Chains A and B, each alone.
Chain A
């Protein structure tokens, strides 16, 4: 969950990895903060992690940022496609991974309903898309939207 996802980036062009790396790091920062705040509020708790990480499972440092890069590469420029892809992934991670798979193996306590955690991931999804749009100068310059989208494709 940590190392193998990063190796998948060998199948992507170096320039593309460079382009999407900042949004991936931004997504990671938000995820860690959400995780810390959720832990403090008692929404979830990590029971067993992997050395050297303490509260967070390696999924957050491998699968999540790399998946962000792949999803942006394949869907950026078409928000509908991006949002549907993320919705499918978020439903999988909230209802299966976080609510069933990890708790059943004693790795994570997930005290919050996945119906409540799902909107959190939706907000995360929209915020990181907005961040990338801002980085690409689209967010505050609607006139440039079509041009930037065209260039990215």
Chain B
């Protein structure tokens, strides 16, 4: 089975197993925001300086759509769902540390298995810092728009 099909299956299995489906109305806007950032970053990265590229056997458009609709969506969903109740600096730092560690580990697997490559000076450190910023943006988007009101 191809790598990206497997990833897609694993990601949605995680959603089925761990996601609180009652909160999906609250989560969909944050996931759409994450998708926007992902799609916009694809636009920028495809400019004349390519920073990363995915490789697989699937047609490019299928790989791209699967890329957008599995890890980005599921990770954002679960990240917001499990935000600590008590949001102290320590709790939040630890929470971010755990999620960014997961995100960079997923990227590491992609690179080491040859399904992703970094170019033009992009490194894991750039990705890691971007992950901290992205999770902060998802958190702020959820907080500022008061999306918890949409929870049943």
Q: Is B145 an interface residue (CB 8 A)?
A: yes
Are B39 and A26 in contact, CB atoms less than 8 angstroms apart?
no
Main secondary structure of the interface of A (DSSP, over half): helix
Stretch at the interface among A3-11, A46-54, A73-81, A86-94: A46-54
Q: How large is the interface on B (under 10, 10 to 19, 20 to 34, 35 or more residues)?
A: 20 to 34
Query: How many A residues face the partner with a CB closer than 8 A?
Result: 21
Instruction: Across the interface, name the chain A residue whose C-beta is closest to B33.
Output: A25
Q: Which B residues touch A25, using CB under 8 A?
A: 29, 32-33, 36
Q: Is B65 an interface residue (CB 8 A)?
A: yes
Given contacts A22-B29, A25-B29, A36-B61, contact A53 B43 (CB under 8 A): yes
CA distance A33 to B61 in the complex (A): 10
Q: Is A118 an interface residue (CB 8 A)?
A: no
Q: Which A residues touch B65, using CB under 8 A?
A: 33, 36
Partner of B32, one of A29, A51, A54: A29
Given contacts A33-B65, A37-B61, A135-B25, contact A55 B46 (CB under 8 A): yes
Instruction: Across the interface, name the chain B residue whose C-beta is closest to A41.
Output: B61
